[in-house]
Amino acid sequence: HVSPEAAEGGDIALVRDGDQVEIDIAGRAINLLVPDEELAARRQKEQERGRRAFTPDRQRAVPASLRAYAYFAASADKGAVRIVPQ
């Protein structure tokens, strides 16, 4: 479920190759071992991209069916349920 969280600007979007990650099995946690200042700088850089913020830099045709799914599906951190507009 990392893709939806990343697309919504979650911390997973700020992970870069080479970053150290701590996996705490007993504590049921995954921690990114990057200073808060660095994460803030990464977030700012993404936000400066405007509408393209937190999206991959790639050219890919996305079928209408997948766009519809993405529009109506909540991410796993929100229960992975279908969103029905009122």
Q: Which amino acid is at 10?
A: G
Note the pLDDT of residue 3: 65
What is the Cα–Cα distance from 25 to 37, expressed in whole angstroms? 26
The set of residues, in sequence order, having a beta carbon less than 8 Å from that of 11 and lying 6+ positions away, is 32, 39
Note the pLDDT of residue 68: 87
Note the pLDDT of residue 76: 73
Note the pLDDT of residue 2: 59
Note the pLDDT of residue 10: 86
Tokens of 25: 């099995």
Note the pLDDT of residue 1: 52
Please, what are the averages of pLDDT over each run of 10 residues along the chain (86 residues)?
A: 75 94 95 96 96 86 88 78 82
Helix (H, G, I), strand (E, B) or coil at 47: helix
Q: Is residue 82 a contact partner of residue 72, using CB atoms and an 8 Å limit?
A: yes
Note the pLDDT of residue 6: 82
Q: Is residue 11 a contact partner of residue 86, using CB atoms and an 8 Å limit?
A: no
Note the pLDDT of residue 79: 77
